[in-house]
Structure formats: C-alpha cells, structure tokens
Amino acid sequence: MILLTGSSGFLGKAILAEMGTLQVKTLSRTYGDYQVNLQSEVPHFKEQFELVIHAAGKAHSVPRTEREKQDFFDVNVAGTANLLKGLENSGLPKSFIFISSVSVYGKEAGIQINENTSLLATDAYGKSKIAAETLVQDWCDQNKVICTILRLPLLAGPNPPGNLKSMIKGIGSGYYFNIAGGKAKKSIVLADDVAKILPAVAKVGGVFNLTDRYHPNFSELSKLIAGQLDKSTPLNIPLWLAKLMAYAGNVIGSKSPIDIKKLNKMISELTFNDDKAVATLGWNPRPVLQSFKIKS
C-alpha cells in the first residue's frame, strides 16, 4: 500500500497517473482518501503503508509579509512533522520519499551543482525545505526507514505551475521577451519522468538531483512554447535596455514585469548535476525540448 500526499497538485497528479493499478491512498486538503490540512492536523490513517511519497507542500509564491513567510514553515515543516506523527500511530512504512527542491542550495547562478553542495538558502521557501529535509532524514534514521530526498528544479508537463506557467502566459499574451539572446541555461525536468523513477528510488534511498540532463536555455524554451501556441518567436532585447527597464522596475515596484532581481535570474545560468541518479538509479530522462507539451 502506498500513501501519496499532495495528490491534487501538479506533480502529485503525475505520480498518481504513473502508479496505475498499484494500491494508492491519497491525501490532500480538499481531495482524496484522506482530506487533511497537515499544517494543523495529525492524520489518522486506517492502514499501514509500505511506501509514503510526500509531495504536499507550499511553493510558487513570493512572500511579501512575515506572515506569508511563516506560511512556508507551517506547511512544509509543521505539515511534514504532523504527517510523520500520523505514520508513527498507524505503523512505520518501509520507505519514505520526500519531494524537495534545488532551492535548498540557495544559488541564483552556478553550473552543474551537485548534491554535496552546501545548503545555503536564505529565502523562506528554501529554508523551509532544508528544515523539512532534516526532519525527514532524522526521523527515518531513528525509525530505520529507507529515506529518499529528491531535489527538483523547474517541473514541466501539461498546464505547469510556477515560472513556467508565467512564461507560457507571457508568450501567449505577447509581452514575453528574451534578454541578450536568451542564452542562460536552466535545469528542468518532466514531471512524468520524476514519477517513473519513484519505485526504483524507494528501494535504494539517498539524496538526488533530477534534471532532463540537457538544461535548455530561455531562447530554446520560448521558441518551443511559441510554436505550440502558434505565436511568433519572442523578441529579444539587448542587455543595456533590459537593465534600464529593470532599474525602472525597482522604482515602480511589484507591478513592474521586471526588476533587477528578476533580470539577474534571467541572465544567469543555473544548472544542477544528476550524475548520481544516473549511476545509482539508471536515471534516463527525456529531453524536455523533445517531449514537453504545454496542454494535456
């Protein structure tokens, strides 16, 4: 028996579809076999699970207040703690997979960052994921449960969330543009490929980055998306003009489509190394540029 949390989320739906005929119990706030608000409730399970996949969590938002920052810890840390308490009451699983993020490294630029890199996140989301990773690893060690941490970059698949959703919306509306040729590479991975590797990684345990191993740049991604939307290839603006717009954006505030922080992210290469997953798990993902469909 498998327990999947966050089953109504983007990755959760992909995992649930991949599980097929396996016996899976689902948990989310408003959908599934267990409808539980983990940040404030300890779930009461009716059965013992062999594998738990913890994909529930808070992401895809920029906190503007201290309360919004605390929400990340309430959901990602306190919610994980409540899940673990519930599992202690129902019987310990054999394996536990925690869906984490490359945000734990705290990097805005870097090439082929691997799992041995220090966890230096300073933002609320990254720090909450570090705390949750530590909580899960300690709990698994104490209870002799096989522990897996998957640190994921941008997720791709039909109707994706987050930055990829914003990019698709921008291209569809005609206000997205590449900067300095859009040459900065970013790690990305198909949600379906993550889902497919879970049975193998559950048996082994460990900490793994997962990417599509190609790391497309902004120009390649935007061209692919524009083609699927029957839109023209996004325009390119020179770096000097983008900087002027970004400085103006800092003055305008949150209503501006670009500021210095956003600009730096768009022109900085940020890729992650998943050689460990290849060697240990036989990880063989599909290149996103060949398989990504923005609509289901």
Residue 255 has pLDDT above 90, yes or no: no
Out of 76-85, 156-165, 245-254, least confident range:
245-254
- The C-alpha atoms of residue 229 and residue 224 are separated, in whole angstroms, by 9
Out of 57-66, 190-199, 272-281, least confident range:
57-66
Residue 51 pLDDT level (bands cut at 50, 70, 90): very high
The pLDDT of 205-221, averaged and rounded, is 97
Residue 150 has pLDDT above 90, yes or no: yes
Domains of the chain: 2-157+189-211+275-283 (3.40.50.720)
Task: Give start and end residues of each alpha helix (H) in 54-190.
Answer: 66-73, 79-90, 124-143, 162-173
- At 242 the pLDDT is 87
Residue 229 CA from chain centroid, whole number: 24
Whether 187 and 211 have beta carbons less than 8 Å apart is answered as: yes
Residue 247 has pLDDT above 90, yes or no: no
Residue 221 has pLDDT above 90, yes or no: yes
As a three-state string, the secondary structure of 157-203 is CCCCCHHHHHHHHHHHHCCCEEEHHHCCEECEEEHHHHHHHHHHHHH
- The C-alpha atoms of residue 15 and residue 193 are separated, in whole angstroms, by 9
- At 20 the pLDDT is 78
The pLDDT of 112-128, averaged and rounded, is 97
Out of 16-25, 51-60, 70-79, 119-128, least confident range:
16-25
Residue 248 has pLDDT above 90, yes or no: no
Residue 253 has pLDDT above 80, yes or no: no
Residue 42 has pLDDT above 90, yes or no: yes
**Percent of the chain whose predicted confidence (pLDDT) is above 90:** 79
| Whole-number average pLDDT of the chain | 93
**Separation of first and last alpha carbons in the chain:** 29
Per the document, the length of the chain is 296
In this predicted model, what pLDDT tens digit does every residue of 258-293 receive, in sequence order?
Answer: 888 888 888 999 999 999 999 999 999 999 999 999
As a three-state string, the secondary structure of 274-293 is CHHHHHHHCCCCCCHHHHCC
- At 31 the pLDDT is 83
- At 228 the pLDDT is 95
Q: Residue 281: which residues within 8 A CB-CB, separation 6 or more?
A: 197, 200, 201, 204, 208
- The C-alpha atoms of residue 237 and residue 218 are separated, in whole angstroms, by 13
Whether the model clears a pTM of 0.75, i.e. scores above it, the answer is yes
- The C-alpha atoms of residue 289 and residue 154 are separated, in whole angstroms, by 13
Whether 194 and 202 have beta carbons less than 8 Å apart is answered as: no
